[in-house]
């Protein structure tokens, strides 16, 4: 369970992420090489040319989500399968 204060801390930490830097690092990364070196199980879901926008959109969505959770003083139940 992530309570509102922890959600606020997560939003704050995510808020310092420079999305332009992330985008540039993804643009300059060799995703084929990364796929060979790491376990990137979901890499096939991303088109290489769309990856920078998709990743930045995901991070921005997390920032907005946790900011909203904190502002409305809700919690988030997390679980894994």
pLDDT band, residue 50 (cuts 50/70/90): confident
Which of 4, 27, 23, 12 minimizes the C-alpha distance to 62? 12
pLDDT at position 46: 66
pLDDT band, residue 24 (cuts 50/70/90): very high
Range of the domain at 26: 4-71
Residue 62 lies in a domain: yes
Residue 18 lies in a domain: yes
Q: What 3-state class would DSSP assign to 63?
A: helix
Residue 66 lies in a domain: yes
Of 47-51, 57-61, 73-77, which gets the smallest average pLDDT? 47-51
Looking at every residue in the chain, the average pLDDT score rounds to 82
């Amino acid at each position: 369970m992530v309570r509102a204060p922890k959600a606020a801390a997560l939003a704050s930490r995510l808020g310092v992420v420079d999305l332009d830097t992330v985008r540039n690092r993804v643009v300059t990364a060799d995703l084929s090489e990364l796929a060979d070196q790491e376990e990137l199980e979901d890499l096939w879901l991303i088109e290489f040319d769309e990856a920078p926008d998709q990743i930045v959109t995901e991070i921005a969505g997390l920032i907005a989500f946790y900011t909203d959770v904190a502002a409305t003083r809700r919690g988030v139940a997390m679980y894994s399968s």
